[in-house]
């Protein structure tokens, strides 16, 4: 049995390239001097998911963890210490996969409509065992141009769960 000697860990910022600009509020939140927008508007703070980028699939989005000894990526730590990081019950039920992506994002532009696949669609068309349920916690907003921030939620009448 391997001995867990990773000690206390710190999750490091993991900024991810996107096709939209933003990030000012992330930098402000982290106390960066002279915060500004860039092509890295997202911080994937808890991720073993590889980002799909215009230039291909990138592991820049896998969380970086500062241990007592070194900086490791979360995927490597889970591989070596699954029960220590995820818990015995979790590993028994789901295996060594995190099944979760937690990110902070700040967009300087209006973002378009998003839809996310269920597990069945993901298995059939995306060769993935994971769908995507989503929850949002909004802790800061900003005006885009002269427009106050808002979120539109829901679908047009007549769309049922079976259609989805």
- Contact of 129 with 119, CB cutoff 8 Å: yes
Q: Check residue 1 and give its pLDDT.
A: 41
CA distances from 151 to 42, 59, 115 (A): 18, 30, 14
Q: Check residue 113 and give its pLDDT.
A: 65
- 3-state secondary structure string, 104-161? EECECCCCCCCCCCCHHHHHHHHCCCCCCCCCCCCCCCCCECCECCCCCCCCCCCCCC
Which tokens hold the place of 59?
């592991």
Per-residue pLDDT of the chain (164 residues; tens, 9 = 90+): 455 666 778 999 999 999 999 999 999 999 999 999 999 999 999 988 888 888 877 788 899 999 888 888 899 999 999 998 899 999 999 899 887 889 999 999 988 767 778 888 888 887 777 777 777 788 899 998 899 988 876 666 776 767 65
Q: Domain ranges in the chain?
A: 10-110
């Amino acid at each position: 049995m391997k001995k867990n000697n990773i000690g206390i860990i710190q999750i490091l910022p993991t900024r991810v390239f996107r096709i939209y600009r933003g990030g000012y509020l992330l930098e402000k939140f982290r106390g960066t001097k002279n915060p500004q927008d860039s092509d890295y508007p997202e911080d994937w703070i808890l991720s073993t998911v590889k980002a799909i980028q215009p230039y291909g699939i990138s592991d820049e989005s896998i969380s970086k963890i500062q241990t007592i000894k070194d900086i490791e990526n979360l995927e490597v730590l889970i591989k070596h210490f699954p029960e220590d990081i995820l818990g015995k019950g979790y590993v028994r039920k789901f295996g060594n996969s995190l099944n979760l992506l937690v990110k902070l994002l700040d967009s300087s532009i209006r973002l378009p409509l998003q839809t996310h696949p269920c597990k069945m669609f993901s298995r059939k068309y995306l060769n993935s065992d994971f769908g995507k349920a989503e929850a949002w916690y909004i802790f800061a907003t900003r005006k885009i141009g002269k427009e106050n921030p808002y979120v539109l939620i829901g679908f047009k009448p007549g769309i049922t769960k079976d259609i989805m």
